[in-house]
Amino acid sequence: MIHLETDILIIGGGIAGCIAAISLANTHRVILIDKNKEPNERIGESLAPAAQRILKQLNLIEDIDKASVYNEPLYIKNMGMQSFWGSDKVHIVDHLRNPDGFVQSLNRKKFESYLRESALNRGIKCLWPVKLQTSNYETNYWHITANSNEKIGQKNYHIKSKFVIDASGRQSNFARSLGVKRETIDKLIACWATMPNYLQNTMSTISACKNGWWYSAVLPNNKRVMAFQTDADLIDKNDIKKSTFFIELAKENKEMECILKETKSELQFHGTVAANSSRLKQFTGKQWAALGDAAISFDPLSSQGMYNAMASAMQLTTLIINHNLIHDYTIEKDKSFQHNYTQQINAIWSHYLQHKKLFYSAEMRWKEASFWKRRF
């Protein structure tokens, strides 16, 4: 057993965990763990323009542009969105007048690798692949056991920490280990595929249909992602595992059919992921807080999940630093911290729900269909 002690243990080296670690690097001892040796290939590429401010604040923007380090660009400018929502006439949304600039279409895996590397370079003790096993609170410290998630030469860790940040994504593994429940408000899933892009038009496309909505965007290296969002109970569980079914479904949508015409045989189907709106029933407690998707997760229609992960990481770490919660802990400070953090996350959640309702209610063409009826 390897024994370690730290001020703050962050569980999850995704966007939320890395941004929190980097912003605490100068003021606290931080250990960051992730169960995966390297980031997975995953869906979710559109980074909201406002995220640039956070990357600048943490001095992360310049290195991103040294794309050659990674042999391929971490992102490309997203030229805008063509939307077929509420009518079959196209509506164009561009970012030309946005003071923060363009939406960035990320190479998601490379971007997450870059954040992990930046955390390492800022002196954070990073452990991966290391997976949370158990958590126990005793005499003002969290005692966490974790192991290296490898069959051969497995390492076991005991980490003693003054504070734990749960940045483990929708699974919210640490909070769940404490018995905190998660509230799920819909059954949205996304089935997705990638393919080469051969089209000149590099705008993203969003297109509503009776049982959900389609989305496609161009990625760095002239790749393209295509995804169908629907409710898990509106689609056959076995059918949706097949790429042939995905292709047939896509052909029923005029805009997706146009894209597929060029690329069908080179399509790589990645299966289905959860895309529901959900939140923990408690975001924080004695010497812990949940962050990013672990606290609240959004419908991909919002395209705000990564920005929320970054912005709430900044809010959380600012609260920790301003309360001087770790170096001079008192129960009163902890209570004030918990109260403020809960208010902040509740405000984001209620704002998000209002926007979600507004967006979905702009589509009335299939108002009697189950998918849409559930969302008005």
Sites of contact with ligand FAD (CB under 6 A): 11-17, 33-36, 43-47, 131-132, 167-169, 171, 173, 190, 227, 273, 275, 292-294, 300, 303-307, 309
> 376 has which bridge partners?
none
* DSSP structural state of residue 175: H
Query: Beta partners for 2?
Result: 157
When the beta carbons of 195 and 336 are compared against ligand FAD, the nearer one is 195
Nearer to ligand FAD, 304 or 338 (CB): 304
Q: List all residues 6 or more positions away from 282 whose beta carbon is below 8 Å from its beta carbon.
A: 175, 180
Amino acid identity at 46: S
Beta carbon of residue 35, minimum distance to ligand FAD (angstroms, whole number):
4
Written as six digits, the tokens of 146 are: 């974790």
Phi then psi for 163, rounded to 5 degrees? -150, 145
Q: Which is nearer to ligand FAD, 278 or 338 (CB)?
A: 278
Smallest distance, ligand FAD to C-beta of residue 9, A: 10
Specify the residue, 118 or 261, whose C-beta has the smaller distance to ligand FAD: 118
Using the Cα atoms of residue 237, residue 243, residue 248 and residue 253 in order, give the sign of their dihedral.
positive
User: Residue 129: is the preceding peptide bond cis (ω within 30°)?
Assistant: yes
Closest approach of ligand FAD to the CB of residue 281, in Å: 18
Nearer CB in complex with ligand FAD: 193/259: 193
Minimum distance from residue 223 beta carbon to ligand FAD (Å): 14
Question: Given the complex with ligand FAD, which of 245 and 329 has the nearer CB atom?
Answer: 245
How far apart CA 120 and CA 126 sit, in angstroms, is 6
Query: Is the CB of 87 or the CB of 346 nearer to ligand FAD?
Result: 346
Q: How far is the CB of 53 from ligand FAD (least distance, A)?
A: 15
Picking from 130, 108, 110, 117, the residue whose alpha carbon sits closest to that of residue 36 is 130
Q: What angle do CA 302, 198, 210 make, to 5 degrees?
A: 40
Closest distance of CB 19 from ligand FAD, Å:
8
* Shortest Å distance, C-beta 258 to ligand FAD: 21
Minimum Å gap between C-beta 37 and ligand FAD is 10
Q: Which of 53, 57, 51 shows the shortest CA–CA distance to 15?
A: 51
* Beta strands at 212-219 and 278-280: parallel, antiparallel or unpaired: unpaired
Query: Helix, strand or coil for residue 165?
Result: strand
Residue 256 phi/psi, 5° resolution?
A: -70, -35
Q: Which is nearer to ligand FAD, 301 or 326 (CB)?
A: 301
Query: Can you tell me which residue has the tokens 């069959």?
Result: 151
What is the three-class DSSP state of 187? coil
27 DSSP 8-state letter: T
Nearer to ligand FAD, 95 or 333 (CB): 95
CB of 352 to ligand FAD, least distance (A): 12
Residue with tokens 């992921």: 273
